[in-house]
Structure 1
Amino acid sequence: MIRRERGIFFVYSIGLDIGTTSAKAVLYTANNEEICACEIAYPLLKRKVNYAEQDPDVVVDACFTVLHHVINKGQIQGKDVSLVALSSAMHSLIAVDQNGKPLTLAITWADNRCAPFIKTLKGTSQGRHFYENTGIPIHPMSWIGKIHWLRENERSVFKQAYKFITMKEYLCLRLTGHYVVDHSMASGTGLYHLRKQAWDKDVLAFLEISEDKLSSLVPTTYELPPLTAEAQALLPVGTDCRFFIGAGDGVLANIGADALEKGTVAITIGTSGAVRTLVDDVVTDELQRTFCYALTEGKFIAGGATNNGGMALQWFIDQFSKGMQTEANGRSIHELIIKSAANVPAGSEGLLFLPFLNGERAPFWDPDARGTFFGVSMHHQHAHFARAVMEGVLYSICSVVNALKQSLGTIDRVQASGGFARSPEWVQMLADIIGQDVSLPPSHHASALGAVLLAKHAIGELDMFTAAKTEKKEQALLFKPNLQHTEVYQELFAMYERLYQKLETEFSAIAAFQSK
């Protein structure tokens, strides 16, 4: 039965996910079943060494266009979409002027330009104080480093900035003309006091900015004000369609992947990767290995993110696999690479890859870390390197899993999502490396689904803490670890962690050389 509220039939809903390299729109039925999904890619700009930026207007245009595409693909009428809910990659920073025009590109989580300052701050008592209050490790992804860099290196931009906002805030500004940020996205900036649920006055004083330079804080259940006439004219939905602000993509992935119970973690690998679990209070780590984000009042997401997920495999394909031809059945080059890697024995016959192509976040939080192949021998072929890259991404995930276990105790259930979940071979490697069952929900678009479920939770349509269960759990695929492979991986994973420790000093040296 279709429910009616405020004169709106709950027929279709859309989860709009603003990613690092693409915008995705997923269309759902009234019962939250996925109908179809569309994606529009945009570049991650690398203008200089250690830079990683987006063009804000290109991203917004992609978001508007992908909504048109998903409605057309679903063969529905835009007026029948009653709800659009937002998800977004976290940590991006845009300085805008008084007219809302960007003064900078969007400086993403992958941008390491402020690394020298961050290395200085991280080991101080002040750095620890900031981490304990905000739950965000001292790392270039944090706005502390980004805004400090602007203050010291782009003084005119720093002074001219009317607001500092995330990519999702810029989209909301283009939609409504209002500056608002949900508590989840705010908690990813490093400027938000988790326990006070407010902007952190100590951090703001340190950065020499006032609170009016930041958007107004709103709950993750917040419904956006009516759209501007300009935005409405560009969108394919009716004037009755309701837009909800949602949360960060990682927080929402736990909702969409049914990872809201104690002892359950969501492992997401898209461009980057992350391991997250729901907690009832703010959780920080003595070694500052994990983050903590706001979800809703009294609920938080603890975990750790890695810089190099699907990005690492894409790099390998772009740099070393362009000459490969797709097979006659039309499979993509990604499928061919993964299939060839699956034919290589577990452990890549002694070839290890440290996947730190873009520095690393959890658990090392080292922007100077660099990618490394170790153990290269004459018998290693292209497929060995491909598998080593895939395994290296999962070794980094495993190191975060272990850090969470040390902080929070045992992990009983693992839910996987993200682009890597399209590959059964890669998911099986994950089960083998962590030595635990891995459950794969029917859809790998966990963040988009989580955004829709959170919005419907906000209006009383459902309870998000139970909505992703029942039939979704029955439909999930279960990957059990091959214990012989797990034994191989345990030996190699120990070597992987030792390699990082041994190379840490040299990573700093080579990073300094590359920055000359």
Structure 2
Amino acid sequence: MNVLLGIDLGTTSLKVSLYSETGLRIGSQSREYPIQVPQPGFAEQDPLDWWNAFINCCQQLKADYPEAFEQIAGIGICGQMHSQVYLDQHDQILRPAISWMDQRTASIAERYNRDASIKDLIFENTSNTASTTYSAMHIRWVKENQPEIWEKTESILIAKDYLKFRLTGQKATDYSEASGTLLFDNQREKWSQEMFDLFEIPSQLIPEVSASDVIIGTVSAEAAKITGLRAGIPVANGSTDNSASAFGAGMISSSQVTLIIGTAGVITVCSDKPLIDHLDRTLCWHYCLPKHWVTLGIMQTAGESLQWFKNSFDPPDETGTESGDIFNRYNESIRNVPDGSDGLIFLPYLNGERTPYWDSNARGVFFGINLKTEKSHFIKAIMEGVSFGLRNNIETVESLGIQIQDVRAVGGGLKSQVWLDILGKIIRKPITTISGHDTANLGNIILCGKAIGLYTSYAETIQQLVKTDRTVAYPDGSEIYEKQYPLFLELYQDLKPTFKKAAG
């Protein structure tokens, strides 16, 4: 039996899973690690925390599943985007990795966006605009503010690529990961020398880029000794966690969508050409498949909106119940609340909003409170407001010239049949949920399996390994939601100047 190992290097934890070649998850281990905040607006991590978490997971999996662990035929990997590791000439870490969450580069991004010609140049080369998220902004900050670090820097690796380097001794990255640097020409699938020149970053600091489904090296004798893995196991190039998760949910064709309601809300739309948004509302990145791209809409606080409500009005010390119990009670409590929550509309902008507004001043609003409004109305209105926000993002992507047909849903928020039905009525497209909760590592092992020749066709492999759960379809939607949705959009536009005034 061939066994494949998947590694998902997330922002706060790393998960390692063993799979059979038939897609059966044999076992899984995860380890958490901290985010360091040396000062407000900063967010950093120790790359050794990632490596040590991986070692611990491997050792535990080997102890729990010794036979399967010895049969590992390949390793697939994905990870958090943007976060970068600085190495010296001896490949020693020079400073903590700067996380994608870090906001220290706001003034640098503003500097590049202020000049229209430079902003246009960046967009022309990368299909995106500068923001605090991109690696190039962080690298530029190190160059300007830590010259003693910059002078010693010989190579820069994104998070998962550092783990690959520790495993194989090879430095490499993939198209999807390169998209998050703002140094990559997404349309031409190659590094942009113009961006290296603009940001004054020597191109030799950045590794070669290639497809996700190629083998970049094998587990070294040194790594084998530390992790317990067998030396010589092939390691795939891998992809971003967003790409791997969408791929593990079965997204392989243009017009397919993966929708996630987790802390944030994310729609990832697959296309066979870059969908360029000249209005700068969405993100355009490369997918984990060659000649495939993804357009992303990202809500800041989706599932987190309901979590906020729970923390504020049903804290554990008062209810004595766990989060899962509370959310089950919420589902029951809203069953008799009519669609539209008797006129209550929620704007889910509790911590600003990303796409399509990019408005850090936006805030959450309950509109339409009346004497009939009860606690259950607020709960359902939150679910409806988040769903309106997701529809807004879907329609924004469709305005770029693609008709979305197939929506695949993953993430904890849509375990609720009630919320799934609300979302189905609001977006008016069929939504299919995916069985299992580790789609990122499933995507990892499919990419790896293809790289080592275990799988020959992605379409056939997806059909065999990705299992769907349930589908909801409300093509006609709901009359009340069709009336409320324009009001939802209008409320934000009317309040936008007020949000800005309040922030000032």
Q: If the TM-score is normalised by the length of the shorter chain, which range does it land in?
A: 0.7 to 0.9
Deviations 1:99-155 (A, max 9, x none): 334444333333333234434533623223312321334322122332333344444
Q: Secondary structure at the match of 2:488?
A: helix
- Using the TM superposition, name which of 422-431 and 169-178 deviates more: 422-431
Counterpart position of 2:256: 264
Deviation at 1:389, TM superposition (A): 4.5
Q: Per-residue deviation at 1:455?
A: 1.3
Trace 1:377-388 onto structure 2 (pairs within 5 A). Answer: 385-388=378-381
User: Structure 1 498/102 Cα, relative in aligned 2: closer, same or farther at 3 Å?
Assistant: farther
Q: Distance in 2 between matches of 1:54 and 1:352?
A: 39
| Greater CA drift, 272-281 or 311-320 | 311-320
Whether 1:333 and 2:327 are equivalent positions in the alignment is no
CA contact (8 A) 1:87 1:252 kept: yes
SS of 1:173's equivalent in the other structure is helix
Deviations 1:21-48 (A, max 9, x none): 2222333222113344443333344444
| Deviation at residue 410 of structure 1 after TM alignment | 1.9
Contact 1:85 1:452 in 2 (8 A): yes
2:46 aligns to what?
Answer: 55
Please state whether the residue corresponding to 1:323 is helix, strand or coil: helix
In 1, Cα distance between the equivalents of 2:146 and 2:205?
17
| Cα deviation code 1:438-485 (max 9, x no counterpart) | 101222322211111111122232212332125746x4311234967x
Contact 1:13 1:83 in 2 (8 A): yes
Task: Give the letter for the 1:265 counterpart.
Answer: V
Distance in 2, matches of 1:296 and 1:214, equals 21
CA distance in 1, matches of 2:363, 2:239: 31
1:197 to partner: Cα distance: 2.4
Distance, in Å, in 2 between the alignment partners of 1:105 and 1:316 is 34
Report how many aligned residue pairs link the two structures: 496
Q: Which residue of 1 aligns with 2:458?
A: 464
Give matches, 1:443-462, under 5 Å: 443-462=436-455
Change (3 A) 1:92 1:334: farther
Equivalent in the alignment of 1:146 = 138
1:289-317 per-position Cα deviation (integer Å, ceiling 9, x unaligned): 22232233322223333333445555555
Offset, 1:220: 0.9
Equivalent position SS for 1:415 = strand
CA drift at 1:356: 3.9
Q: Deviations over 1:402-439 (max 9, x none)?
A: 11111133211111123434443443333233122210
Amino acid at match of 2:20: T
C-alpha change, 1:42 and 1:138, in structure 2 (3 Å) is same
Residue in 2 aligned with 1:163? 155
Superposition pairs of residues 103-182 of structure 1, within 5 angstroms? 103-122=94-113, 124-182=116-174
Partner of 1:416: 409
Q: Tell me which residue corresponds to 2:293.
A: 300
Tell me by how many angstroms 1:352 deviates: 4.4
Contact 1:131–1:288 at 8 Å: present in 2 too? Answer: no
252-261 vs 105-114, greater mean Cα deviation: 105-114
Instruction: Name the amino acid aligned to 1:340.
Output: Y
Q: 1:43 to 1:423 in 2, by over 3 A?
A: farther
Contact 1:144 1:191 survives alignment (8 Å): yes
**Is the partner of 2:81 in helix, strand or coil?**
coil
Superposed, which structure 2 residues align to 1:56-71 within 5 Å? 56-70=47-61
Amino acid at match of 1:343: S
Q: For the residues of structure 1 that align with 2:43 and 2:362, how far apart are their CA atoms?
A: 16
Q: CA deviation at 1:93?
A: 2.6
Whether 2:78 is the aligned partner of 1:87: answer yes
Equivalent residues of 1:83, 1:243 under 8 A apart:
yes
Q: Map of 1:222-371 to 2, 5 A cutoff?
A: 222-294=214-286, 295-317=288-310, 321-327=315-321, 332-341=322-331, 343-344=333-334, 345=337, 346-366=339-359, 368-371=360-363
Identity of counterpart residues, as a percentage? 26
Matching residue's letter, 2:165: L
Equivalent residue of 2:182, what SS?
Answer: coil
Comparing 310-319 with 413-422, which one deviates more in the overlay?
310-319
The reply to whether residue 183 of structure 1 matches residue 205 of structure 2 is: no
Letter in 1 for 2:492: Y
Q: Over aligned residues, Cα RMSD in angstroms?
A: 3.1
SS in 1 for 2:101: coil
Unmatched runs of 5 consecutive residues or more in structure 2 = none
| Structure 2 match to 1:32 | 23
AA aligned opposite 2:458: M
Matching residue's letter, 2:255:
G
Q: What SS does the aligned partner of 2:215 have?
A: coil
Amino acid at match of 2:442: L
Decide which moves more: 221-230 or 285-294: 221-230
User: Which residue pairs with 2:473 in the alignment?
Assistant: 480
Preserved CA contact (<8 Å) 1:354 1:370: no
Matches of 2:17 and 2:441, distance apart in 1: 7
2:440 maps to a residue whose letter is S
Q: Which amino acid aligns with 1:273?
A: G
- Tell me, which stretches of 5 or more residues in structure 1 are unaligned? 3-9
- Is 2:214 the partner of 1:214? no
Query: Secondary structure, in 3 states, of the residue corresponding to 2:463?
Result: coil
Deviation at 1:510, TM superposition (A): 5.6
Q: What TM-score results when the alignment is normalised by the length of structure 2?
A: 0.86
* Contact 2:34–2:45 (CA under 8 A) maintained in structure 1: yes
* Deviation of 1:211 (Å): 0.2
